[in-house]
Amino acid sequence: MSKKVFSDAKSALFDVKDGMTLVLGGFGLCGIPENSIAVLHDMGVKNLTCVSNNAGVDDFGLGLLLQKRQIKKMISSYVGENALFEKLYMSGELELEFCPQGTLAERIRAGGAGIAGFYTPTGVGTLVAEGKEIKKFDGRDYVLERGIKGDFAFVKAWKGDKFGNLIFRKTARNFNPMAATAGKITVAEVEELVEVGELDPDQIHTPGVFVQRIFQGKDYQKRIEQRTVRKS
């Protein structure tokens, strides 16, 4: 267990290399691995393929890696909050594979479960299905989607123990649990790191068997993409 615990993000990400595929948890700016992304930015690794529901915003999250042109390709479902992303894609500097949100979640889950691919009706008859196998089941067309596995997966949890058992809080559960299973090496950053046995087993969302490295993060901003409030 002691081999899983790292002092900080920098020490946990020591062997991330150029050209790797990274799977990142989070939904919008909620539950993103902020500390890990910041270190990737400082490391300057490039030609990355990043799999994430969102692409961050211009000055935060994956937007930091886009600023330095570190990402070669994004596999995403929603990128509407990032003007730089749009600019890079339209200029041909960034490859993009759009994927429906539910399909993306299932592709990540499938990759983590060792499933090479699955059929879904989502996207049939649209650009999403171009170049993919179409098969009919019970009179309905389905498109073949491939599972996704990354060289690394980065997730952010509310609490974790030193074995790597993780608890995610609320919206952060949308993509983090799937992402945690989909890395050859999964790095978890947590707001609170506790001893083994302190977490209620019934509350654990990701068992520690999926996590190879864990550290307690710091200085979380927990930003909101668009804050909407009622008039007083």
Q: What number of CA atoms fall less than 13 Å from residue 154's CA on the CB side? A: 26
pLDDT at site 2: 67
The predicted-structure confidence for 7-55, as pLDDT tens digits, reads as follows: 999 999 999 999 999 999 999 889 999 999 999 999 999 999 999 998 8
User: What's the rounded Cα separation, in Å, for the pair 87 and 113?
Assistant: 35
The predicted-structure confidence for 72-125, as pLDDT tens digits, reads as follows: 999 999 877 788 988 999 999 999 999 999 999 999 999 999 999 999 999 999
pLDDT at site 106: 98
| CA dihedral of 195, 207, 75, 94, whole degrees rounded to 10 | 30
* Residue % of the chain over a pLDDT of 90: 86
pLDDT at 221 over 90: no
> 140 versus 231: which is more confidently predicted?
140
Report whether 52 contacts 80 (CB < 8 A): no
Residues 6+ apart with CB under 8 A from 3: none
* Average pLDDT for 214-229: 86
Domain 19-116+147-216 has CATH 3.90.1150.10: no
Range list of H helices, the chain: 9-12, 34-43, 63-67, 83-90, 101-113, 176-181
pLDDT at site 103: 97
Q: Beta 150-161 vs 166-167: how paired, if at all?
A: antiparallel
Q: Find tokens 């799999």 and name the residue.
A: 51
CB neighbour class for 128 (10 Å; exposed up to 12, middle 13-18, buried from 19)? middle
The predicted-structure confidence for 175-212, as pLDDT tens digits, reads as follows: 999 999 999 999 999 999 999 999 999 999 999 999 99
pLDDT at 1 over 60: no
Q: Does residue 130 sit in helix, strand or coil?
A: coil
pLDDT at site 38: 96
pLDDT bucket at 130, cuts 50 / 70 / 90: very high
The structure's pTM equals 0.93
User: What's the rounded Cα separation, in Å, for the pair 160 and 193?
Assistant: 5
**Average pLDDT of every residue of the chain:** 94
